[in-house]
Each structure stands twice: as C-alpha cells, then as structure tokens.
Structure 1
Amino acid sequence: MNNKPIIALDFPSEKDVVQFLKQFHEPLFVKIGMELYLQEGPSVVAKVKELGHDVFLDLKLHDIPNTVKSAMKGLARLGVDLVNVHAAGGINMMQGALEGLEAGTSPGQKRAALIAVTQLTSTTEQQIWDEQKIQVPLIESVLHYAKITKQAGLDGVVCSVHEAGLIGEACGDAFLRVTPGIRLAGGESHDQKRVATPDYARNNGSSLIVVGRAITNAQDPVSAYKTVVDLWEEK
C-alpha cells in the first residue's frame, strides 16, 4: 500500500469513475465509498483494480460481530488495499472483522489493511455531547476509540488531522492515521467540520490523507492532484 493522497471517487456511476480516471496516466490510490459501491456493487472495485489503482473501500461496517465477520470475509475477496469499520462497534466486532478479513484473503495475497472510524470529521464536539451523550471532550473520545482499535489488533484509524499527532503518540507511529477532510487553502469545507490542508496534515501526524472535491470538482483535476501531492510530499 502506497502513501499517495487518496482520491475520494464520490461519483454516482462506474462510467463517471472511468471517465475521471482516464485523465490520469499513473497508478493512483482511490477511495470507493457507500454511494458508489451501493450503486454499482463489487464490479466497480474490480474495474478500478483492473485499471491499476489501489483501493480504499470505505463502507464503515458497523453491526454485530458475526455479521461484520461474514461481510468482511466477502469483501476480502475483492482484493482491496484498505477497508474500514466503525470503532463504536466495539472490540469484539473489530476482532471479528479482522478474523473475517484474514479468512477471506486468498493464500499468497496480502491482507488489506483494516482501520476503524473514530469520530466522523463532520462531527462536532457539541454533537457528541448532545446526540451521542458522550460526556468527555471530542479528543478524549477519539483517543479512546483509537486505543481500543489498537487493542483489537487493527492497523489504524480514521480521524481528523487535528487528532492524528496525539493518536500517533498514544498508539505508535506504525499505527495508521487516515485523515479525510483535506482541502486546499481557500477551498470550501462543504459538510466537513474538522478540515486541514495537505501540508498541515503532513506536519501534524497524518499517515494518509483523503481528498475529494478539491480534486474531483476542480477544472483541472490532474493539476489539482499534483498540487496536493506536492504539498503532501513537501516539494
């Protein structure tokens, strides 16, 4: 798995995805989320892999342990590079996800990295107090989820840039901190609340960044992607 910026392919169809990817002449790391996967199914993953790109399958599984284990066993057969669950499902569920992922991975094939969502980057501290009834600061909730994710044996978490450094200190630098909500300076934050630029993410503990509309909605997506790469890699 490479450490290139991950492009969120938030398109409604496989046709749109292929059309977008044809603009690039290099292997990419892309994210396929619920919108696209539920419209097109596993075939869109197969197509993107066929085109030579790494895939983060962002379905955020959250159910009883046995259901997640069985689902992850099936997803493992798709040959994706990164997949996730919700840490709120608990240690047993996360362990079940890992067991399913390992069981479904073909012999000789590398298992996909498995990470857990801590708190969505669209979530505010007021929301966790009012709607989730979590009576601690947001950062404490995120750190707690990161620690139980590591305890469950997973490879890392999804978090905001603003928590990545503290998670690295608590869980070790090898523990992945995948950070969505990445925008270019002056760009819109859309529905994200805890956002940052690629260079800020690089300097504040992110292992991988996820960039969506800053690239996919750009007039020149290839140029926008190169700008993100340069900021991320400090060129």
Structure 2
Amino acid sequence: MSRHTRLIAAIDTKDITQAKQWVKDFGKTVDAIKLGFEFTYSCGLEAVKEVSAGHKLFLDLKLHDIPNTVASGLSALTKSLSPALTTIHASGGAEMIHRAREALEENFPSPDTRPKLLAVTVLTSMDQTGLNQIGVTGTPHDQVIRLGKLAIDSGADGLVCSAHELVALRDNLGDKPILVVPGIRPQGSEANDQKRIMTPRQASNAGADWIVVGRPITQAKNPAATAQAIQDELS
C-alpha cells in the first residue's frame, strides 16, 4: 500500500520566543509541529495554543494513570487545544485506552475533527537492557507487538513506535492504524539519545504515516531548508 509520509517537527524548548521563531522559520515546510513535556510544562497551555496556531498540532504528553484520571485529563487538554494527534501510554492497559477514546468522542462527535489517539508502545530510547531493567523479559520487538495489538483493540487510532517495528506492526495490524515514528535521523545526523533509529526514506518505505524529527531540524543553520530536504527525501 502506497503511503504519503508526513513530517512533524518537534519543538523541544522552554523558550516561547525560540519556539515561535522556529515555527516561523519552518513555514509550510513541515506538516505538523510537536509540543511535549518541556514546552508545555514551562510555558503553559495558552502558549501551546499560541505557538501551534495555523499548524496541525501533535500534543505529546503521554498520559498514563488510572482510567478515569486519563479520560478527564485528556478531555480537558483536547477541548482546550484541539490537537490533530495526542498520546497516551499503551502500558496503561485496555480500560485506560478505551476510556481515553470515549472521552475524545464525547468532546468531538465528528470523526473529522476528533484528535487521533496514539498509544506509545516502547520508547525509542529503550533497548533490551532497558526493558530488562524494568522487568520486561521479551525483546523490544515482542513488547511493541503485544502493546500495539492491545492498544488498537482497545480503541487507539494508532501507535507511536520505532521505525524498526513498522513492518511487523503492519503485518500484524494491517494498513489502518496510524503509525507515528520518532527517532528519525536524516543521513549524517547525530543519534543523540535515540538508540533505534532510521532515516526518513527508510521509515517511509517501511510504512510510517508520520515521522517526527527534532534536533536535526531545529539545530540546523537553516531549519526550513533542512525540513524541505527531508520532504524531498520523503517524496
């Protein structure tokens, strides 16, 4: 199945002025922007709304708590910000995921306007050693497939996953789930703290719907040119 893979620029900063400048620099060279813990907790929800104005928003706060708390929190966040994509942790379990989906549907009755619910499987900073340290004896691959199936069966629209599990997830879950892939590094970029990475083209060929790129774009001398080069690679 041919896919058009779209680019999300990760805005990781505590400085609202810097965030606004990056978004201005990107212009239309990116398809969405991601705002997560660092910016949201430093600058607040009104700043998230201000910085994301005019762009699709990937609100990446990875909620993980008892089902009622996650549903209530997600309802408040999405009603205020109307993100295109938002995240919870798949490891919160089936009821938590189901309640999160219900909360979104109550706030956004139309499927066209409802934020897409993404479940985080295994963080791209986690390798086999990291999983073993928290008591998971299976491989990262096995854990991603297990949590991916659970999340989709429980109401998630898609998953956040490593590019290295894309083919296996498509084989197990089909073409419908939205797959969003962080840990993407253009050829020649530093890996930083990501351990399971791919280039934009590799991720697209493997079945990614969205790729997330942060530092390689924001720390570039010309962020817009770097983003455009990634778009060119994807197309």
Structure 2: any 5+ residue segments left out of the alignment? none
Counterpart selection for 1:11 from 10, 13, 16: 13
- TM-score for both structures, normalised by structure 2: 0.93
Is the 1:181–1:196 contact (alpha carbons within 8 Å) kept by the matching residues of 2? Answer: yes
Task: Give the direction of change, closer, same or farther, for the CA distance of 1:109–1:48 in structure 2 (3 Å limit).
Answer: farther
Alignment of 1:55-204 (within 5 A): 55-77=57-79, 78-105=81-108, 110-129=113-132, 131-204=133-206
Paired with 1:12 and 1:47, the residues of 2 have a C-alpha distance of: 14
- RMSD over aligned Cα atoms: 1.6
Paired with 1:226 and 1:10, the residues of 2 have a C-alpha distance of: 19
Is the 1:72–1:104 contact (alpha carbons within 8 Å) kept by the matching residues of 2? Answer: no
Paired with 2:148 and 2:11, the residues of 1 have a C-alpha distance of: 26
Other-structure match for 2:47: 44
Q: CA deviation at 1:108?
A: 8.8
Q: Over residues 115-156 of structure 1, what are the superposed CA-to-partner deviations in whole Å (9 max), with x where a residue is unaligned?
A: 100000000012112x12112121111000000011101111
Percent of pairs with identical residues: 37
Paired with 1:60 and 1:116, the residues of 2 have a C-alpha distance of: 8
Paired with 1:200 and 1:108, the residues of 2 have a C-alpha distance of: 30
Q: CA deviation at 1:109?
A: 6.6
Q: CA deviation at 1:70?
A: 0.2
RCO higher in 1 or 2 (8 Å CA, sep ≥ 6)? 2
Other-structure match for 1:225: 227
Count of aligned positions: 230
Structure 1: any 5+ residue segments left out of the alignment? none
Paired with 2:158 and 2:185, the residues of 1 have a C-alpha distance of: 22
